[in-house]
A and B are shown apart, each in its own frame.
Chain A
Amino acid sequence: MTEGSASAVLECRDIELSFGGLRALKGLSFDIMPGEIFGLVGPNGSGKTSLVNVVTGFYRPQRGSVAIFGADTTRMRPHRIAAHGVARTFQNLALFRGMTVLDNILLGRHVHMGVGSGALATLFYWVWAARHEVAHRRAVEELIDFMQLQDIRDEPVEVIPLGLQKRVELARALAADPRLLILDEPMAGMNKEEKEYIARFILDAREERNTTVLMIEHHMDVVTSICDRVMVLSYGENIAQGKPLEAISEPRVIQAYLGERAAKRHVGAAA
């Protein structure tokens, strides 16, 4: 695995994670290349979210290493990893209640705020923090236009519909200008139209903001249409990797999703 690994956005080697006797991830290795949209699929409990939690620093793997743009981040705390240009969204929304959509997205700028988010800058707001606030507000307003959130920017996040909340969370992640964007089921519970919106935002984010994307997704139609490559997990093991259509039609993948008997029938029907 030496070819091109120097330029890889994310490099995972032999990731091994167990919770007590349960081996959640069994020696996973993979690379994500710049500009890729990399899909992570697999049945429930196959370790997708655990893997993302390892990459973003929430879990520490027992073995293996994670490198982001060549920097080893295996034992880093999540906020340090965020400073390396990684942003993520959560499967169950993690917006900050009681704050407006605008403030939530502004928080996404935190990694770029520096001393502007200190107590002293706050005390001397007029001569210090205001300048920072305006500069970051500009960046956020651009994003609000991009994500079409103009109408709701002053609403508290908890009152807007779920589909929009997901979009706000994506906007907050993008506000950090991430080089690697990790999305944990960005389209869960969405209807077709909302899914199309999000899919377009993801594609646009790659085109306009040079973001590399790692995405967990269950909707196979989305995965096959926007992902460049996918990795299929089952019980913490990598059972298939490659182009989406090819990977998900592998017999092992069908078996993991549908069970052995159904898989035989499926193969029989296909033949």
Chain B
Amino acid sequence: MLYRRAGIRHTSYRHERMLWPLPFDRYLVGTIAAFLIVAPFLIDRLYLVAYLLPWLIWSMAALGLNLLMGGAGQIHLGYGAVMAIGAYSSVHLVRAGVPFEIAMIAGGLASAMIGVIFGFAALRVKTLYLAMSTLAMQYIVDFVIAHVPAISGGTQATIQVPPVRFLGLRIEGDIATYYFALAVCTVVTLFMLNVHRTGFGRALAAVREKDYAAEVIGVSTFKYKLLAFWTSSFIGGVVGAVLVVCYLRSVSPDQFHIDLSVQIVAMVIVGGLGSVLGSFFGAALILFTPIVLNNLVASIAAGAGLSLSSDLRAHIPLMLYGALIVGFLVLEPLGLAKIYDNVRNYFLVWPFRYARK
């Protein structure tokens, strides 16, 4: 049903490596893309700015981290710091009069340069030890940013982002910022989708699965581990720039603390390691569940006429939120993307279940 595979005939290798070979998948992607494009005129401004925009930005961050964690199998607990470097670099450059197009890329490059230094840790240590090394990165970068007035303007300081233009268009107001974030998100998403079908992605996967076997077929684990850190940090830096320009509009050290890093790691893991779709699912779950649960608990309490203490009102949603994450991971350790995949596979062959792979 829906996802029909019958009648699809590939006549070239290029055709076979299409991103969405099934027509239904294409319709789905097309519909969502169309919705995102017309969203500013369809939905309330509040929803656009408070939900869709952060969702796009956090999804981008999750995609960037997913390249490293899902693609190359290297854990990173300092992604917030990577974004901070990009955010501060680009904001300072913009304030110095550099055009934002260049400042954004330069922010990415700055993140990539510093990120790759910490990538050297990955050449020596793996798994939990790498987690600790990257956690150290988070704290070192936090400390440096907060304590060097030239960067942050002081521990309590907030730097305003001046108005910027991108390719001549002013990124100002709700709609322009939304479209700008959407455009960057599209580029990052397409890149990540392509990773799955090129030699780059395969080489990263080889390093992730068996480094000695990767070496023997000519994949330099040294080069590709660093390349994974470089690319992922570059994306992180660009996302940091987009985050401050489109969403936060000012930059201060406390925005990029360990909370942000953990949040993005959670998005990647809950969404599904290595999955592009999963990054979007993960970002949506982590960002919106607390809000939804909060409203739900409030409305249920109000409806049932219960008078909950404010403490309890604040904590019940958090408990449910935690339980939900644990529940999803117990149900499907490979994340939300895998749950979607299971449903899709079910319908792919419905009603002939025996044909399922």
Residues of A within 8 A of B (CB): 56-58, 77-79, 82-83, 87-88, 90, 94-99, 103, 106-111, 113, 116-119, 121-123, 125, 129-130, 132-134, 136-138, 141, 172-173, 176
Contact = CB atoms under 8 A, between A and B. Distances in A.
B36 to A, nearest CB: 21
B341 interface: no
25 contacts: A82-B217, A83-B218, A87-B216, A90-B213, A94-B210, A94-B212, A94-B213, A96-B213, A110-B203, A110-B206, A111-B218, A117-B202, A117-B203, A119-B227, A119-B230, A121-B199, A123-B187, A125-B194, A129-B194, A133-B17, A133-B198, A134-B12, A172-B217, A176-B217, A176-B218
Contacts of B221: 79
A141 to B, nearest CB: 8
Contacts of A97: 209
Given A56-B216, A88-B216, A134-B14, A96 B199 contact: no
A133 B199 contact: yes
Interface string B179-212: 0000000010011001101111111011001101
Given A106-B202, A122-B201, A125-B198, A98 B209 contact: yes
B215 A96 contact: no
Contact of B217 (A87, A99, A119, A141): A87
Contacts of A103: 202, 205
Contacts of A133: 13-14, 17, 197-199
A138 B13 contact: yes
B275 to A, nearest CB: 12
A122 B202 contact: no
A58 B216 CA distance: 9
A89 to B, nearest CB: 9
A149 to B, nearest CB: 16
Nearest to A96: B209
Interface of B: 12-14, 17, 187, 190-191, 194-195, 197-203, 205-206, 209-210, 212-222, 227, 230-231
Consensus secondary structure, chain B interface: helix
B200 A78 contact: no
Given A90-B216, A96-B210, 8 more contacts: A78-B212, A96-B205, A98-B209, A110-B206, A117-B202, A132-B199, A134-B12, A137-B13
A172 B219 CA distance: 13
A82 B216 contact: yes
B194 to A, nearest CB: 4
A136 B199 CA distance: 10
Contacts of B214: 79
B198 A78 contact: no
A123 B191 contact: yes
Contacts of A129: 194, 198-200
A-B residue pairs, 6 tightest by C-beta:
A117-B199, A94-B213, A82-B218, A111-B218, A78-B215, A125-B194
Nearest to B17: A133
A79 B14 CA distance: 29
Nearest to A175: B217
A58 B212 contact: yes
A103 B187 CA distance: 24
A53 to B, nearest CB: 10
Contacts of B201: 122
B196 to A, nearest CB: 9
Contacts of B227: 118-119
A202 B198 CA distance: 29
Contact of B199 (A57, A99, A106, A141): A106
Contact of A122 (B17, B194, B210, B219): B194
A87 B218 CA distance: 9
A99 B205 contact: yes
A108 B213 CA distance: 10
A111 B217 CA distance: 7
A152 B198 CA distance: 20
A208 B17 CA distance: 29
B218 A134 contact: no
